[in-house]
Structure 1
Amino acid sequence: MRIVILAVGRARPPFADDCEHYLRLLRAKARVELHELRDERRLRERLSPSAHLVCLSERGRSFDSLGFARWLDQRIRAGRDLFFALGGAHGLELPEADEELSLGPLTLPHQLARVVLLEQLFRAHKILAGEPYHY
C-alpha cells in the first residue's frame, strides 16, 4: 500500500524543510510520496480510481492522534492505496472523494497543513508500531 499526498502549490521554506524532514522519517515506516502540483486540474489528473481518496477539508471528520492512528490502521488493512488531496490557498472541492478529513477547527495555511498531515502520519505509524509518539 502506498500513501500518496497530492498538494496544489509548492512548499517554501521553512515548510519545505519540515516536509522533507517528516518524509525522511516516514519512508522508514511506509511507502509515502508527496507530489506538488501546479493547479487543481493537474491534481485531478493524478488521482487513482482504485485508491481510497481523502480530501482535506474544514468540513471533514477530525480525530485526535490515537483516533487517526486507528483510522489509518483500517485503511492499511483495506489494502488500497491511500491518496490525500490538499488544495492551495483557496481550498479544494473533490466530490469524488471517498471521505473528507479535517486537521482541526483552525484554518491553516495550505503549506502548514501539508506539514501537519505528514507529522500526523509519522505519529500514527509510531503509535501503530507501539513506539513512544510524544517527543
Structure 2
Amino acid sequence: MKITLITVGKIKEKYLKDAIAEYSKRLSRYCKLEIAEVADEKTPDQAGETVEENIRNKEGERILKCIHDDMYVITLEINGVMLGSEEFARKVEQLGVQGNSSIGFVIGGSIGLGKEVRKRADYALSFSKMTFPHQLMRVILLEQIYRAYRIINGEPYHK
C-alpha cells in the first residue's frame, strides 16, 4: 500500500525531523511512504474570516494538486471521527482489503483546511478535540500509522 502525507508548511525543528525520519524508516517495511509538503501562506495577526478563507483556499489549491484520482483521502479535522488505535488499524486494513492501494492523509495549515479539500475527502479523522501544532501532528500521525501496521500484523505494540 502507498501512504501519502500531504502537509502544509515545512518542518524546521530538528527534533521533529528526526522523529519523522525514524517513523518513516520503521514504516518502510509495511508500506511505501511519501510526504508531500506544500507551501503555507503567512497569516497576518488579527486576520479576518475573509482573509483566513482566502489563505485556506490558496493552500487548498496546492493540496488538491497532490491528490490523485485513485487516492482515498483522509483529512485530519478537529470535527472528524475519533477512533482508537485498534479501530484506526481496522480502518487502514479495511481500505486495503477493499482495493484502495493509495491512501492520502491531509494535514492542513495553522488555520485549517479549505472547503474544496474537505469536500474531496473520503473520510474526516480527528485525533482529539484539542488543537495540535500541524508540524507535531505529522509525528503523531506517523506513529499511529506505524502502530496500525503493528496491530494489523499481530505484532506487539504499547497499549
Indicate the TM-score class for this superposition, using the shorter chain for normalisation. over 0.9
Larger Rg: 2
Matches within 5 A, 1:1-135: 1-13=1-13, 14-39=15-40, 40=59, 41-80=61-100, 81-93=102-114, 94=117, 95-134=119-158
Alpha-carbon distance in 1 for matches of 2:5, 2:111: 18
**RMSD (CA atoms):** 1.3
Stretches of structure 1 lacking an aligned partner (at least 5 in a row)? none
- The alignment's TM-score, normalised by the length of structure 2, stands at 0.80
How far residue 118 of structure 1 moved from its aligned partner, in angstroms, is: 0.3
How far residue 79 of structure 1 moved from its aligned partner, in angstroms, is: 2.1
Q: Which amino acid aligns with 1:65?
A: S
Question: Is 17-26 or 88-97 further displaced after alignment?
Answer: 88-97
Identity of aligned residues (%): 36
Alpha-carbon distance in 2 for matches of 1:88, 1:16: 17
How far residue 124 of structure 1 moved from its aligned partner, in angstroms, is: 0.4
- 1:16-50 residue CA offsets vs partner (Å, 9 max, x unmatched): 21111101100111111111111422211111121
Q: Which runs of 4+ in 1 moved over 4 A?
A: none
- The alignment's TM-score, normalised by the length of structure 1, stands at 0.94
